[in-house]
Amino acid sequence: MGSMFEVKTPVSLLQELYVKKGITPKYDLVQIEGAIHEPTFKYRVTVGDLVATGSGQSKKKAKHTAAMTILEKIRAAAATKAKDEAAKKLQGSNLSLECFSSPYDDGFDGNPIGRLQELCIAKRFSPPGYLIASEVGLPHDRIFNMVCIVDVYKETGSGKSKKLAKRQAAIKMIETIKDVPVEQPVIYDEDDEVANKIFDRHSKSHKLADSHLKISQFHRAMKNATGEMIESLQSLSIGDKKINYKELLKKVAGEQKLDLNYMEIEEKSFSGQYQSLLLMSAAPVAVCFGTGESVSGAEEAAALNALVYLKTMTKK
């Protein structure tokens, strides 16, 4: 249902409001503070003579906050201007300004439809959508039922015109969502390059530390490893052509519960030899490289390098 309505952010609303006047809102990054893995950005937006600032945990959120502040200033200024103009018209009459606060007898002063729009922005909800649910009654005495939808919330309003029904639906929706808490998840937006780089750098440092820890743990585990095959590695004679290194590695891997996967590299080396990679499921995964006159020869060389690696790791 939400896809039927165009989602407008405070930034886009402010842009639309001033584009007809030939004015483009200007956003300036004025401050970045906080920890490197959780920065807070502060933006200043300038529109004509109006200036406001906004903060957020990403550039996008900071811009939206600043735009929202400007929109609130514009709304307040417009309301004050309208009220002053109405007061001037009433001077010298016996009527009060309150008589003109709302032409509708529904107990809601002002424009609930506009108020709901502002409330949705403040609550970080999608903009409200309205649908005609039904029309009942004779042509001269028709009742309209209008449904208002905001994210997962739905309210229905009725009236003798579509406008009245829409107004009633908006009033009900305001009552429904006004006390819903504002969700403020910590999200790094894809288009927020600074935040992403900071976050990635922090994440990579943790991953690197985890990798070092795994290698250390694997080293300790292999030093304490027992078994006939693993112990025979210490007497392994490197370069003995009589030994089938692939077969020996297979036995060691079976004893120590290690998985072996050979991967042939399609391109030959600069010297014209075949190349092979051996992935050994240690913790972390160990990758050994080998070259030879044939595919099997390259795999044999990779297996030998893997045995040398295990010999080094299990040396007492």
Q: Tens digit of pLDDT for each residue in 171-228?
A: 999 999 988 887 654 444 444 555 555 445 545 544 444 555 455 666 666 667 777 8
Domain membership of residue 194 (yes or no) is no
Over residues 234-263, the pLDDT tens digits come to: 777 766 777 888 898 888 888 888 888 887
If asked whether residues 94 and 125 sit together in one domain, one would say no
Which among 177, 178, 166, 158 has a CA at the least distance from the CA of 113? 166
If asked whether residues 257 and 174 sit together in one domain, one would say no
Q: How many domains does the chain have?
A: 3
**pLDDT at residue 187, as a whole number:** 43
If asked whether residues 63 and 96 sit together in one domain, one would say yes
Quickly count: other Cβ atoms within 10 Å of residue 176's Cβ: 14
Please check whether residue 147 is in contact with residue 131, taking contact to mean a CB–CB distance below 8 angstroms: yes
**pLDDT at residue 215, as a whole number:** 58
Backbone angles phi, psi at 124, to 5 degrees: 65, 35
pLDDT, mean of residues 136-152: 86
If asked whether residues 57 and 127 sit together in one domain, one would say no
Domain membership of residue 20 (yes or no) is yes
Answer yes or no: is pLDDT of 232 > 70: yes
Domain termination site, one of 136, 162, 181: 181
**pLDDT at residue 190, as a whole number:** 44
Domain membership of residue 85 (yes or no) is yes
Domain termination site, one of 161, 181, 201: 181
Domain termination site, one of 101, 119, 145: 101
If asked whether residues 112 and 78 sit together in one domain, one would say no
pLDDT, mean of residues 6-35: 80
Answer yes or no: is pLDDT of 3 > 50: no
**pLDDT at residue 155, as a whole number:** 92
**pLDDT at residue 100, as a whole number:** 40
Answer yes or no: is pLDDT of 99 > 90: no
Backbone angles phi, psi at 5, to 5 degrees: -120, 140
Answer yes or no: is pLDDT of 281 > 60: yes
**pLDDT at residue 5, as a whole number:** 40
pLDDT, mean of residues 68-74: 83
Which element (helix H / strand E) includes 208? helix 193-223
Answer yes or no: is pLDDT of 14 > 70: yes
The domain of 71 spans 1-101
Domain membership of residue 90 (yes or no) is yes
If asked whether residues 32 and 81 sit together in one domain, one would say yes
If asked whether residues 223 and 271 sit together in one domain, one would say yes
If asked whether residues 47 and 135 sit together in one domain, one would say no
Domain membership of residue 135 (yes or no) is yes
| Residues pairing with 147 in the sheet | 131, 156
Lowest mean pLDDT among 4-8, 13-17, 277-281, 309-313: 4-8
pLDDT, mean of residues 75-87: 65
Beta strands in the chain (DSSP E): 26-35, 38-47, 50-56, 129-136, 143-150, 153-159, 260-265, 274-280, 286-292
If asked whether residues 172 and 129 sit together in one domain, one would say yes
CATH no. for residue 216?
A: 3.30.160.20
**pLDDT at residue 222, as a whole number:** 67
Domain membership of residue 188 (yes or no) is no
303 vs 225: which has the higher pLDDT: 303
Answer yes or no: is pLDDT of 90 > 70: no
**pLDDT at residue 201, as a whole number:** 54
Query: Do you find a cis peptide bond into 284, omega within 30 degrees of 0?
Result: yes
If asked whether residues 3 and 94 sit together in one domain, one would say yes
Domain membership of residue 246 (yes or no) is yes
Residue 103 token pair: 């032409």
Burial of 293 (0-12, 13-18, 19+ CB in 10 A): exposed
If asked whether residues 146 and 70 sit together in one domain, one would say no
**pLDDT at residue 306, as a whole number:** 84
**pLDDT over 90 percentage in the chain:** 7
If asked whether residues 131 and 87 sit together in one domain, one would say no
For the chain, count helices (H), then strands (E). Answer: 8, 9
Domain membership of residue 199 (yes or no) is no
Pairs from 53-62 (Cβ < 8 Å, separation ≥ 24) = 57/186, 57/187, 57/188, 57/195, 58/187, 58/188, 58/189, 58/192, 58/195, 59/29, 59/189, 59/192, 59/194, 59/195, 60/189, 60/191, 60/192, 61/189, 62/29
Nearest-angstrom CA–CA distance, 141 and 123: 38
